[in-house]
Chain A
Amino acid sequence: MSAVVASQPAAPVARRRSYGRYVLAKVLGALGSLAFVVVVNFFLFRVLPGDPARVLGRDRLKSPADQAAFRSEYGLDQSLPHQFLTYLQNTFTGHLGDSIRYRVPVSELILDRLWPTLLLVGTSTLLAMLIGVWIGIVGAWNRGRTFDRASTGVTLTLYSMPEWWLGLLLIAVLAVGLGPLDGIFPTGQLHSNDVDPTSLEGVLDTAWHLVLPVLTLTLAYLAEYSLVMRSSLLDEIGEDYLTTARAKGLRDVVVRRRHAVRNALLPTTTVSALSFGFVVSGAITIETVFSIPGLGLLSSEALTGPDYWVLQGTFLVAAGGVILANLVVNLVYGLLDPRVRT
């Protein structure tokens, strides 16, 4: 690598690094961020009000001796530096400590709650991205026409609605039914309680239960993608190369697909990739409305107590998701557009 760099004459602005070097720099940067998060993560939650021995111990801990025993059981009586070391050890072994509330390893809890969140938020993000980008393209290409105005209005309205309210409306209309029309979807839960979620029937049942929450989130997320796509495509529409393309006699559809959209996709890619980083942090309000046991609920519920180890675990996973997504975006960028490597 160094040979490559050395052979290049000094560039007037900055030397362009090789991709390998670029990757190394980005990975190190990501690891640095992660290390920072690991440290902040520990101290961040220690400033929360409340005392687990009081809130989670409830009336069972009637004497100071009981409380002392409770604290020592969970290592809460140790000095902060000592607790920090334990935390580091727990983090690197992947065990993440024991939940004070549920008395099980946090890693188990997170794994249990991960897949409902991935299904719910992951599917919604994907759908919102595909549909939103399509709406943005069609809207920008037909700027000012009925579809453009209608889609912009609707997606913005949905975007501005509180998610839980939208969810409740959908439950009332599509699950319970309006007037003489019966609702067809379940009102909540991840799956029926009499099916095995791993069987074929269980998978279908879970999908059935996820229709409304996924629909809610998809509708709420649409504007994020459609607006970005629309505006970046509008930027491209006035460009000379499109006139050239048209002058070559290309059909409108081809001009749009091959030339305009391709160039306008970059900002959308960024938004999408970063959104995927947030998938693992869950969707607290929608998980609450539809009673879906996901990571968002787990972390918000752990705030009472506070259940430090669960909070640290979920926060670490959420931050890790964002850092990873960032890294992937950077790496893909470096590949797509050599200019960013400078």
Chain B
Amino acid sequence: MTGDADSLNPFLGYEAVSYEAWALEYDFLVGYKMTDMSPEPALAESWETSDDGLTWTFHLRDGLKWNDGVPLTAADVAYTYNRVLTERIAGGTWRSYLKTTSSVTAPDDQTVVLQLDSPSATLPLLPIPIIPEHIWKDVSKDAMKQYADEPSDGKPVVGSGPFMLVEGTAGGSSYKFVENPYWWGDGPHVDQVVIQVYKSQDPMAQALIKGEIDFAEGLTPLQVKALQDQPGVTAHNGISPIFEEIGFNTGSVDTETGKPLGDPNPAVLDPKFRHALGYAVDTEQIVRTAYQGAAEPGTTIVPPFYTTWHWEPPDDEKFTFDLDQAAAELDAAGYVKGDDGKRTLPDGKPIGKLRLFARSSEKPSVDTMDLLKSWLGQLGIDSEVTAMDSSSLGDRIIEGTYDIFQWDWYVEPDPDGILGDFTCDQLGNLNDSWYCDDDYDAMYAAQGAETDRDARAEIVKKMQQQLYEDAPYIVTAYTKVGEAFRSDAFACFQPQPDPGGVWLIQYGGHNYPLLRAAAEAGDCDGTPSAAGAVEVGDDGTPTAASVSAAAGDGNTMGGFLAGVLSTLVVVAGFWALNRRRTVDDRE
């Protein structure tokens, strides 16, 4: 696994580093608010929608320019969206944000108009990188799949974001960005950002201690603990939108014929059985032992990270670790104990051994399944744990030859994506628990067309409730991301969400312009809670310590310029691997 950029072309790449590069290089029309990921003005200053919700009009800021000095107009925005709408490759990553859009026009230089076929719930959020027409008009539809979009002949990539990419190639080991003098926003306050790719975490943590780098991401809980004791370093486990789950085979079918596929145990097909097991999973112990404390106990598939959308089960419905309750529900559903003390199926046949699958690359995955095996054992259900590489597990899920697996998801700010993964449409594709329910699908369609945020949140919460009760997944934990930075060199990291969120690798990339050298940080220019971020680490290091550490430790031969920020990204980091995991159809 690598943490490098697979492609710097915003229509091709999918790795975390690629997304980070685009967030620095390009702008969105409407981006994410730092604090709660709701839509926030970016290139567009304001917008309005018609009464029927079918026409959206966006007004651009004054005086926008590309980093080569060419004016950025509404025509560039329309050009970008039209390529997304009409071309398969360009549409691959981004079309879901323009799902019901039929046309995009630019009546004048500062106005963009979207015409919709039906109202869309995800608008006005449009986190699609806007590309310059005067550069990309030379990239044909066919050339798109090979277009690298990398700096050449020393010239930076043309974009409009706060920084511009001056060095770096797909699969390279470092990416260098310098300040864009034409950027419309306030800042940036650092001259350059260098993203350095580390292939293993320990040397990265050592490089941070030594001051070769100024920020590290994807650290293990143990490393975070060790770094908290280092002078001049602030470290924490930041809240991130990742959930871990125990997933069931709720009924694998051949998507073409509709006939059952694979060999799931009859027990796991039964929602009552799965619901009972909800009481047999001690999420607190999983957090403590499998994740070494760097997680929160889990409940639903939309993390509490997203306050607008998350549904928290009320006390009388919430799974608490209670084996008696689990046993009572199993008894009631007909899974009673036989003479040998093992539970049987309602028809009296033995359940046999449930097959539990974990990912061998992730120790917490294996630990979770081992714990589940022991809890099942206490209920009188036999099981066996098998660990395998994720490709093999993916194949197995597609074939339906499993009962229970462990995996995780990275959830986007808009819940549409994760909710859609449980629809019948995604059977044999992203729907890895083979969940398919008409009521659920109807609600999915309804939330996608509901433009009132509150009304939509109601539906989204109902959907989570249904999934909680039917339990295709038992969400075990919301994991955190280990981060650390040289607090004697830099300050003004704003957490996302605030408080407790990750410091740098966030949705939107707006935090980079806020960063300042520690010596000039002051109050971070009044950036809300930015100074607070520095205090999140519990080592109490004063923020304005000596900056000399950053200005070249004397150890690196070249030495860094003062004010250079190096961001480290680990291969093994969560982002790289788990931005989105997928399961798809058979070949």
Contact surface of A with B, Cβ cutoff 8 Å: 48-51, 53-64, 66-67, 69, 73, 98, 101-104, 109, 112, 164, 168, 171-172, 175-177, 182-190, 192-195, 201, 204-205, 208, 287-291, 293, 297-298, 301, 304, 306
Contact, CB under 8 Å: A192 / B199 = no
Is B146 within 8 A of A55, CB to CB? no
Q: Is B579 an interface position by the 8 A CB rule?
A: yes
A204 to B557, CA, bound (A): 9
Interface segment among B34-42, B311-319, B389-397, B433-441: the answer is B389-397
* B203 and A301 contacting across the interface, CB-CB below 8 Å: no
B197 on the A face (CB < 8 A) = yes
B557 and A208 form a contact (CB under 8 A) = yes
* Residues of the A chain whose Cβ atoms lie less than 8 Å from the Cβ of B395: 49-51
Contact with B212, one of A60, A73, A187 (Cβ below 8 angstroms): A187
Does B560 make an interface contact (CB < 8 A)? yes
Interface residues on B, range: 35 or more
Taking beta carbons and an 8 Å cutoff, which residues of B are in contact with A?
1-2, 6-7, 9, 12, 14, 88, 92-93, 96, 145-146, 148, 167, 170-174, 176, 194, 196-200, 202-204, 206-207, 209-210, 212, 389-392, 394-395, 398, 417, 426, 429-430, 555-558, 560-561, 566, 579-585, 587
A54 contacts B6, CB within 8 Å? no
The answer to whether B210 and A67 have CB atoms under 8 Å apart is no
Known contacts being A49-B395, A61-B584, is A193 close to B194, with CB within 8 Å? yes
- B587 touching A58 by the CB < 8 A rule? no
Cα of A301 to Cα of B572 in the assembled complex, Å: 11
> In the complex, which of the residues A50, A60, A192, A195 has the most CB atoms of chain B within 10 Å of its own CB atom?
A60
Partner of A171, one of B2, B93, B194, B206: B206
* Inter-chain contacts of B210 with A (CB < 8 A): 175-177, 183, 187
B92 touches A61 (CB 8 A): yes
Known: A58-B581, A59-B14, A103-B146. 12 other contacts (CB 8 A): A50-B391, A54-B394, A54-B582, A57-B582, A63-B429, A64-B585, A104-B148, A182-B555, A187-B210, A201-B558, A289-B203, A291-B198
* CB <8 Å contact, B12 and A291: no
Q: Which 10 A-B pairs have the closest CB atoms?
A: A50-B391, A59-B580, A49-B392, A192-B558, A54-B584, A60-B92, A187-B207, A193-B174, A49-B391, A291-B199
Whether A190 contacts B173 in the complex (CB less than 8 A), given A54-B583, A59-B580, comes out as yes
**How far does the alpha carbon of A58 sit from the alpha carbon of B171 in the complex, in Å?**
18
Query: Contact at B391–A306, with CB atoms within 8 Å?
Result: yes
B1, B197, B556: the one within 8 Å of A192 (CB)? B556
CA distance A67 to B426 in the complex (A): 13
Cβ A291 vs Cβ B170 within 8 A? no
Q: A188-B198, A289-B203 are in contact. Are A101 and B6 (CB under 8 A)?
A: yes
A155 to B196 CA separation, bound complex (whole angstroms):
34
In the assembled complex, the CB of B156 is this many whole angstroms from the nearest CB of chain A, namely 16
B166 to chain A, nearest CB (A): 11
Task: Take A104-B148, A182-B555, A291-B197 as given contacts and tell me if A58 and B202 are in contact as well, using a CB distance cutoff of 8 Å.
Answer: no
Return chain B residues, CB-CB under 8 Å to A177. 210
Interface pair B582/A59, CB less than 8 Å apart: yes
Residue with the greatest number of chain A CB neighbours at <10 A, chosen from B398, B430, B556 = B556
- A273 and B184 CA atoms in complex are apart in Å by 61
Task: Let me know if B1 and A102 touch, CB within 8 A.
Answer: no
Give the Cβ gap from B56 to chain A, nearest Cβ, in Å.
Answer: 23
Whether A186 contacts B212 by the Cβ 8 Å rule is: yes
A171 touches B6 (CB 8 A): no
Residue of B nearest to A60 (CB): B92
* Cα separation A205 to B15 with both chains bound (whole Å): 29
Tell me the complex Cα distance, A319–B148, Å.
30
- Contact: B585 with A67, CB < 8 Å? yes
Closest to A99 in B: B171
Q: Whole-angstrom distance from the CB of A243 to the nearest CB of chain B?
A: 54
CA distance in complex: A288, B200 (Å):
6
Asked whether A287 and B199 contact (CB < 8 A) given A59-B582, A102-B7, A301-B2, the answer is yes
For the complex, what is the distance from the CA of A109 to the CA of B202, rounded to whole Å? 27
Please tell me if the beta carbons of A66 and B174 are within 8 angstroms of each other in the complex.
no
In whole angstroms, what is the CA distance A208 to B558 when docked? 11
Contact A58 B14 (CB under 8 A): yes
- Say whether B196 contacts A189, CB under 8 Å: yes
Whether B557 pairs with A291 at a CB distance below 8 angstroms is: no
Q: Which listed residue (B200, B209, B558) contacts A291, Cβ 8 A?
A: B200
The interface residues of chain B lying within 8 Å CB-to-CB of A103 are: 6-7, 9, 12, 145-146, 148, 170
Asked if residues A64 and B582 are in contact (CB atoms below 8 Å), the reply is no
The residue that A293 contacts in the complex, of B145, B171, B555, B587, with Cβ under 8 A, is B171
On chain B, the residues within 8 Å of A175 by CB distance are: 206, 210
CA distance A172 to B207 in the complex (A): 10
A112 to B524, alpha carbons, bound, how many Å?
42
A50 to chain B, nearest CB (A): 3
Residue on B nearest A54 in the bound complex, by CB: B584
B202 cross-chain contacts in A, Cβ below 8 A:
168, 171, 289
Contacts of A168 on B, CB cut-off 8 Å?
A: 202-203
B398 neighbours in A (Cβ, 8 Å):
54
Cβ 8 A contact of A194, one of B14, B417, B560, B581: B560
B391 pairs with A304, CB closer than 8 A: yes
Beta-carbon contact of A301 and B583 below 8 Å: no
Q: What is the CA–CA distance of A66 and B88 in the complex, to the nearest angstrom?
A: 8
Distance from A198 Cβ to chain B, minimum over Cβ atoms (Å): 14
Chain B residue contacts of A62, Cβ below 8 A: 96, 426, 429-430
In angstroms, how far is the closest chain B Cβ from the Cβ of A254?
Answer: 45
Given A187-B203, A188-B203, A51:B196 Cβ within 8 A: no
Taking the nearest CB of chain B, how far is it from the CB of A310, in angstroms?
A: 10
B206 close to A109 (CB less than 8 A)? no
Instruction: Give complex CA distance A64, B587 in Å.
Output: 11
A58 touches B580 (CB 8 A): yes
* Nearest opposing residue in chain A for B570, CB measure: A291
**CB-CB < 8 A to A304: which residues of B?**
1, 390-391
**CA separation between A57 and B9, bound complex, in Å?**
15
B556 touches A186 (CB 8 A): yes
From known contacts A66-B88, A103-B145, infer whether A193 and B200 are also in contact, taking CB-CB under 8 Å: no
Q: How far is the CA of A293 from the CA of B199 in the complex (A)?
A: 9
Q: Assess whether B176 is in contact with A188, with CB atoms less than 8 Å apart.
A: no
- Within the complex, the shortest CB–CB distance from B422 to chain A, in Å, comes to 14
* Chain B nearest CB, measured from A136 CB (Å): 32
Question: Which of A59, A98, A183, A293 touches B173 (beta carbons < 8 Å)?
Answer: A293
Contact of B558 with A66 in the complex, beta carbons under 8 Å = no
A208, B212: Cα distance in complex, Å: 14
In the complex, A175→B202 CA distance in Å? 12
